[in-house]
């Protein structure tokens, strides 16, 4: 039976805006198994981004617990959270978030730098990942010399640099045309199927969500519906 990688238990996240309290999450419960491909959907203001921040160790709950590989991140310091993020979670963002002054290869090497990986190993791993995303002939190109689809493939390669346990993709096709978006999703599906990578996808797009094994629908900070794909 697959291990639980992420376990969110009765999580609330409350923000104070002036005299008012805004509950972005209201008792959220969510479990993600190792090797699963999960999509989180919901309209604007449903709590998707806040849920992503919890899963990605970018924030801690006001109330409740978030377990990543059995460790409760809600009790960790920011420096410990940063270490866990760097080792266990790979991020893919809608806006790519590549550094324009660095080449494709240097962007992929960057997360390994923060984990004090020796430079020879960083270089070798980046070359392997560039080959995997079919961009080894573009390794010296900077982001502004690459198409949107190529930039997103560099971002995918970067997310895999530290062999993370979970890939967290936030609207990964949002800035791409439909054809390029389909190609990126095909690549993520291949990564999941062939490598067994755990993927959590945050999206508002039904077509994108259909690629996942399971879809969780958020509304007003809690899950209101779960759909599991028949195998």
Domain boundaries, the chain: 34-60+77-228
Show the tokens assigned to 206.
């039904």
Confidence of residue 108 (pLDDT cuts 50, 70, 90): very high
Spatial neighbors of 162 by CB under 8 A, at least 6 apart, are 86, 87, 90, 111, 112, 115, 117
pLDDT in the model for residue 231: 55
Give the three-class secondary structure for 199.
Answer: strand
CATH class of the domain defined by 34-60+77-228: alpha beta
80 band by pLDDT with thresholds 50, 70 and 90: confident
Give start and end residues of each alpha helix (H) in 89-177: 104-114, 119-132, 148-159
Give 165-213 pLDDT, tens digit per residue: 899 999 888 888 888 888 888 888 888 888 888 999 999 888 899 999 9
Beta bridge mates, 14: 23
């Amino acid at each position: 039976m697959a291990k639980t990688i992420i376990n969110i238990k009765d999580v609330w996240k409350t923000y104070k805006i002036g005299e008012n309290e805004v509950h972005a999450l209201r008792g959220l419960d969510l479990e993600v198994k190792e090797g699963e491909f999960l999509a989180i959907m919901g309209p604007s203001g449903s709590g998707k981004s806040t849920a992503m921040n919890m899963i990605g160790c970018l924030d801690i709950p006001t109330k409740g617990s978030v377990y990543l590989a059995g460790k409760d991140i809600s009790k960790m310091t920011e420096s410990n959270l940063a270490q866990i993020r760097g080792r266990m979670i790979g991020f893919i963002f809608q806006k790519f978030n590549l550094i324009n002054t660095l080449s494709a290869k240097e962007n992929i090497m960057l997360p390994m730098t923060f984990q004090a990986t020796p430079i020879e190993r960083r270089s070798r791993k980046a070359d392997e990942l560039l080959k995997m995303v079919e961009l080894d002939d573009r390794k010296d190109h900077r982001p502004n010399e690459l198409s949107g689809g190529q930039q997103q493939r560099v971002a995918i390669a970067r997310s895999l640099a530290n062999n993370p346990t979970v890939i967290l993709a936030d609207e990964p096709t949002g800035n791409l045309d439909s054809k390029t978006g389909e190609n990126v999703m095909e690549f993520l599906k291949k990564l999941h199927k062939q490598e067994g990578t755990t993927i959590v996808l945050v999206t508002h797009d039904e077509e994108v969500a259909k690629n996942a094994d399971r879809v969780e629908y958020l509304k007003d900070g809690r899950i209101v519906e779960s759909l599991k794909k028949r195998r």
